[in-house]
Chain A
Amino acid sequence: MITLTINEKEITLDKPMSVLDAARKAGIKIPTLCHHEALKPYGGCRLCVVEVERMPKLQNSCTLMAADGMVVRTESEEISRTRRGILEFLLINHPLDCPYCDKAGECELQDLVNRYGPTTGRYTEEKRKVPESHKDHILARNMERCVVCTRCVRMCNDVQGASAISVIGRGNRSRVEPFSSESFNCEYCGNCLTVCPVGAILSRLYIHSFRPWQLDREVETVCPYCGVGCSLVVQVRDDSIKRVIPRMDLGVNRGLLCSRGRFGYEYIHSEDRLRTPLVRKDGTLQQATWSEALDIVAAKLTAVKNAEGGASIAGIASPRCTNEDNYVFQRFMRTACGTNNIDSVSRTGFAAAQKYFEDLLGQGITANLLDGLKNSETILVLGDDPAAVNPVLGLSIREAARRGAGVIVVGYAKGLDKFRTLQVIPRVFREAEVLEEVLTGVFSDRGVRGDMPYVDKGIRELSDRISGKKTGIEGIDETVKKLLQSASTSIVLGMDIVQRSDGHRALFAVAGLTYLLEARLYLLSGRPNEQGLIDAGCVPDMLPGGRPVNVPDFRGKFEAVWKAAVPDREGLTLLEIIEGAGKGNIKALYVMGDNPVRNIPHSSFVKEALRSLDFLVVQDIFLSETAEMADVVLPALGWTEKSGTYTNLERRIQLLRKAVETSSGMEDWRILSELSRRMGVPASYSGPEDVMRELARVSPLHRDLTYGEIAAGDALWPYHGEPLRGEMYEVPEMPDGAKDYNADFYLAVDKPLFHSGTLSRRSRALMKICPEATVRIGAAGAAKLGLKEGDKVRLSTPAGSCEAPVSVDGTIMDNRVFLSGNFTGSGVYDLMNFSIDKITKAPGTEGCEVKIEKIQGRG
């Protein structure tokens, strides 16, 4: 216990802290400039000075630790004089351009000067001249305004871990610059913007477009991009989003954002938004009224159901839609359409893996809080680059590394290159054998665990089967050693490993490790509501809350509330639906908020299948490649235009709030409710909260959950529900051995930091940061083909071909070339075909040989 006196007030502290924090705790304000709560104390600006009895000079309260018996005074004539003097110093080189500066109104320097400030300028010399830099598309730098608090640099280095900017020069010549001194060429998280106290680093997205005091409102909501589910504040003027900012005290991200969350909001105001329903007439999509379009859909679906049965209808739900939307979607599909053929693009990764782990290890095995990562001793990273797929989760791994955690990367994770302590590079597409070897290594030391005999048995069998067959890959033994030593281990799994036709092998190995090491398992989730969609019942085998649809008891409870029958057989999974459509077994398909043509491998195959449908309905906010093929297109409302909830990858349920009014479009759930009524199965709700009330009533998992609780941030797994145990009492048999992949090049899916697909492509800022697809190729491969950075190449595979510039990446050591799936005309899935993993039902995308030809040198 430390007791000190500040301004005659006695303050007792239960843990060590600075005098500044102690004062703040007691509600005493001390002005600061270089200090920021997200950063370590720096002590540079000298504004936070205080008097401390028995200390000769004024002391910096931000760096002085509170000590027992200390007597502190935070205001005095001497202190004010000092602060005034320091502010005068800060202003000598600071331009007096507040009227032009975007920071005015929320500038810490302006506020301080208003409070303490000198008014008469005794400084008559020329001010430091540094031309404003607009060389970067996103971030403007005005170093005349910089007060060299280094908050931006410390943020970029110590928190973001991008280390993209630094103070150049020293003394009064100090200025902040990126390496190139022009373009930032960084991760564009914008977290430096959050901490710059003045207008020295500004976002060009809104430069000169509004003043902080001109905003109509601020709304707290959740990011629409990925499964981390960062909280953010949307600032609105005239029903248009002007800016997105984080709040230090809010959500899982505590003040941090990534490029997508911060700069990706513009899509919502895109010119390309769908404004009215469209109906295909004479082969083209034409504008229609809502009632016309809804009538057509209801009539057509009813006709198909009556003629061919519900099993000939299928629905694809959306990991970008809310829990409420998805819940109503599956209710509509199950009751009005009479089908369990409900799945989502999530089946290509997250949903497949999630199901595998829950079946084996029990419900909730993947529900782990992000804080657990920060506190891990060892983190095993597999499958994808967390810093790109789930950037803010990636920051937790970086933070753990800074605290001394071991970070072991199997494969590649570029965003962790400066943070990993060990890298193991499996043979191409053969990650499973590495993981199996690690698992047997751990097993041979630890032995069985005993809680789950069937898992123990599976591990033992695996171990017997592969014992003695070492791959000889470097780092495996070290990995085993590290894992055995670690008191707290986290496993972070990216979906690339899942996309193998024997993907379940890797999944079993991961499950085994999770089980033996009692590790925390995190599934990377590239979309904001993958977990929520599963929990809302948008899967072919489970009702909301993860209750098996083929168990009559469970079904009966839902039927009672829905007042309609639910089909008793499990439905088809995503790829089975697509194949079914191609074979003519599926006649009608309802797609909500997704773009299967772009988001499923082998685009031409998917298109072909959709073309065979009798009826395709797409409900979306854009006329996506899939919507272009539809018979009816229904315009939905997007993020910030409606309320609802998302479930993040920790399985935390969070509230999305409406922030802007718009005239076109309807909430997804409302469209479905309208259709349901028209099809004779009324399902009406007064609003999203009403939907949640029903979900809380029918789903054992969501039991008693309220918006109030969710808004308070308390909706953490398992809420008030009861998790189910695993169901797979037998580990499915696993094929042995694997092919060698010896062709010159193979195609692989890239997951860039700056894009997510359909939405990000319509965000100007993200397009400026990353305007086109590039082909990432290793240095050896580039040398073999004589390729240099920026050369344009044609990629061809049996499935298709495309052209894109290359980017040579020295960190890629194998014969894969990476292409992202985000851009029309050069999406990786256009070029890939797949084979289904019989157990996970995810597409295997390995082994796609690709021919690369240079078509043009750099201009």
Chain B
Amino acid sequence: MEKVLLKNIDNPNSADIGEYRKAGGYRSLAKALQMQPADIVEEVKKSGIRGRGGAGFPTAMKWNFAMADPKFPKYLICNADEGEPGTFKDRPILEKNPHLLIEGMVISGYALGAEYGYIYLRGEYPAAKDILEGAIEQAYKENFLGDDILGKGVRFRLSVHQGAGAYICGEETALIESIEGKKGQPRTKPPFPVNVGAWSMPTIVNNVETLSNIPYIIEIGGEAYSAIGSSDCPGPKLYCVSGFVENPGVYELPMGTSLRDIIYKHAGGIKDNGKLKAVIPGGISTPVLPADAIDCAMDFVAMPKAGSMLGSGAVIVMDESVCMVRVTYRAMKFFEHESCGKCTPCREGTDWLRKILERIEHGKGREGDINLLSDVAGVMSGRTFCPLGDGAAGVVTGMIKHFRSEFEEHIRDKQCKFRN
């Protein structure tokens, strides 16, 4: 497949506007500005693209909601918080191909009637901040951003808003709170951001990868785009593979590539010829899959059927040397640390789960602890304010489902056999 999102990134100067334009950059913008906004949205709709931030929400549908709201100004926010552990797919775009994102945002802003854009960039990417700001400056200079873009009387102003270390700010309403200078705690929905978002105005939040697809959709047209990858969620997709594989990294493949192919064909298989034990397929908020469950298409529709989720497409591969209790414990430490504290089940539940897991991992587990874990996760599940808490519960439930015996061993032997 032709590279779309990672095109040109091997060029050491790929972040420079000149290089980007040489490779055909900003042509889609010029084309888009000849179109009516509604026609752009129509192309996006035809493309069938779904948001790459994790939930897989149809992008055109979100846009239509926002456009139907009569309030102005509207805001377009790019979600560059990329906090889901195991995920590093947006980073190459941000650092190596920033103009692709900018171009995507200007086109989207024009289509949506949004004149102000913000890139909510996680604090952990300081290098990307400088690169993005440099690219934005260049784009202003060359009139791809500003108050009269390409002389078409179109305004789009863009700036970077740096986060400061809070995973929950990836959740769109928490992100909006954070842009408003508040704690990143999710808001009650409805109202949805498309109606009452940043500063109470209609706000469209899209992931970096989603927005970076827009220029290509304009370039080849929605219909052609929809032929790439899975029919019910088409397009190119960035998969990031980490852990025990020979060639970890980000792979741009057609949506729906099978998990097995991603691991074995593209990432070179299990490191040092080890044996696959488990895969977390979409970032640690997605339930684990055992070695025999990897023959599934990695897309938003197929993965739930396979017992997990596509999430951010972050594939964490674990071989036989990895202790699943320890992984669960570490994951729970993450959730506990990142729980925003707003709702009881997540705030208290992650704390309790982490404590139980900690003692099991440290050989102090007790009879009944596995049931207790399931019970606690059961109370959380479906009752948290936002998906973070649900995800935390799902991790425990999934791990116990597939690796119960490992938990039992820890409790029985009063130690972790993987520790040396």
* A→B interface (CB under 8 Å): 41-47, 49, 57-58, 60, 63, 65, 82, 85-86, 88-90, 92-93, 122-123, 125, 147-148, 167, 169-174
The answer to whether the Cβ of B166 comes within 8 Å of any Cβ in the partner chain is yes
Q: A43-B188, A46-B345 are in contact. Are A171 and B339 (CB under 8 A)?
A: yes
Contact yes or no, B382 A57, CB < 8 A: yes
Residues of chain B lying within 8 A (CB to CB) of residue A49: 383
By the criterion CB–CB under 8 Å, are B341 and A174 in contact? yes
Q: How far apart sit A93 and B355, CA to CA, in the bound complex (Å)?
A: 12
| Contact across chains for B344 and A90 when beta carbons are under 8 A apart | yes
Task: Kindly supply a per-residue 1/0 record for chain B positions 344-381, scoring 1 wherever the CB is within 8 Å of any chain A CB and 0 otherwise.
Answer: 11011111100110010000000000001001001100
Cβ B342 vs Cβ A92 within 8 A = no
- B188 touching A92, Cβ below 8 Å: no
Contacts A46-B384, A85-B378 supplied; 11 other A-B pairs, CB < 8 Å: A43-B385, A85-B383, A86-B344, A86-B379, A89-B345, A89-B348, A89-B349, A125-B359, A147-B344, A170-B339, A171-B351
Evaluate contact between B382 and A90: CB separation under 8 angstroms. no
B347 lies within 8 A of A57 (CB): no
A46-B345, A92-B352, A123-B352 are contacts. A82–B339 as well, Cβ < 8 Å?
no
The distance from the CB of A133 to the nearest CB of chain B, in whole angstroms, is: 20
Take A171-B341, A174-B341 as given contacts and tell me if A58 and B348 are in contact as well, using a CB distance cutoff of 8 Å: no
Q: Which residue of A lies closest to B186 (CB)?
A: A43
**Cβ of B340 and Cβ of A170 under 8 Å apart?**
yes
Cross-interface CB contact of A89 among B190, B337, B341, B344, cutoff 8 Å: B344
Residues of B near A60 (CB, < 8 A) are 188
If A89-B348, A92-B352 touch, whether A45 touches B379 (CB-CB below 8 Å) is: no
Asked if residues A44 and B339 are in contact (CB atoms below 8 Å), the reply is no
Chosen A-B contacts, 12 in total, with CB atoms closer than 8 Å, are A57-B382, A58-B382, A65-B190, A86-B345, A90-B348, A93-B348, A167-B183, A170-B341, A171-B336, A172-B336, A172-B347, A172-B348
Rounded to whole angstroms, the CA-CA distance of A535 and B246 in the bound complex is 92
User: Judging by beta carbons under 8 Å apart, are B385 and A46 in contact?
Assistant: yes
Please judge, given known A-B contacts A63-B188, A171-B338, whether A44 and B166 are in contact too, CB under 8 Å.
no
Inter-chain residue pair count (beta carbon < 8 A): 89
* 5 A-B pairs closest in CB distance: A85-B379, A89-B348, A171-B339, A172-B351, A174-B341
Asked if B416 CB lies within 8 Å of chain A CBs, one says: no
Q: Smallest CB–CB gap between B349 and chain A, Å?
A: 6
B351 touches A93 (CB 8 A): yes
User: Which residues of the partner chain A approach B343 to less than 8 Å between Cβ atoms?
Assistant: 43-46
* Docked pose: A86 CA to B356 CA in angstroms: 18
Closest chain A residue to B352 by CB distance?
A92
Interface-centre pick from B183, B342, B349, B382 (highest chain A CB count, 10 A)? B342
A92 and B382 within 8 A (CB): no
Interface residues of B, count at CB 8 A: 31
From A49, which residue of chain B is reached at the shortest CB distance? B383
Identify which of A41, A90, A171 gathers the most chain B CB atoms within 10 Å of its CB.
Answer: A171
Given contacts A63-B188, A89-B352, A125-B355, contact A174 B383 (CB under 8 A): no
B344 / chain A contacts, CB cutoff of 8 Å:
44-47, 86, 89-90, 147-148
Residue of A at shortest CB range from B337?
A171
When the two chains form their complex, are residues B341 and A167 in contact, meaning their CB atoms are under 8 A apart? yes
Quote the shortest CB–CB distance from A438 to chain B (angstroms).
32
Q: Please, which residues of chain A bring their CB within 8 A of the CB of B359?
A: 125
Q: Roughly how many angstroms separate A172 CA and B383 CA in the complex, as a whole number?
A: 17
Q: Select A172's contact among B339, B356, B372, B384, beta carbons within 8 Å.
A: B339
Contact assessment for A82 and B379 in the assembled complex, using a CB-CB cutoff below 8 Å: yes
| Cβ-defined partner of B372 (8 Å) among A122, A169, A170, A171 | A122
Minimum CB distance partner of B389 in chain A: A46
A41 near B383 with CB under 8 A, answer: no
A89–B379 contact, CB under 8 A? yes
Minimum CB–CB distance from B133 to chain A (whole Å) comes to 28
Residue of B nearest to A148 (CB): B341
Minimum distance in angstroms from B27 CB to a CB of chain A: 45
In contact, B345 and A41 (Cβ under 8 angstroms): no
A residues in contact with B351, CB < 8 Å: 92-93, 171-172
CB distance from B254 to the nearest CB of A (A): 32
Q: Which residues on the A side are within 8 Å of B384 (C-beta)?
A: 46
A171 touches B345 (CB 8 A): no
Q: How far is the CA of A47 from the CA of B383 in the complex (A)?
A: 10
CA distance A88 to B336 in the complex (A): 18
Most chain B beta-carbon contacts within 10 A, residue among A60, A65, A86: A86
- Chain A residues whose CB sits within 8 angstroms of the CB of B379 once the complex forms: 82, 85-86, 88-89
Which residues 240-266 in B have Cβ within 8 Å of A in the complex? none
Bound Cα distance from A49 to B356, whole angstroms: 27
- In this complex, what residue of B is CB-closest to A86? B344
CB-based contact A44/B385 at 8 Å: yes
User: Nearest chain A CB to B175's CB is how many angstroms away?
Assistant: 15
Shortest Cβ gap from B320 to chain A (Å)? 31
Complex-state Cα separation, A65 to B191, whole angstroms = 10
The minimal Cβ–Cβ distance linking A683 to chain B, given in whole angstroms, is 62
Is B372 in contact with A174, judged by CB distance below 8 angstroms? no
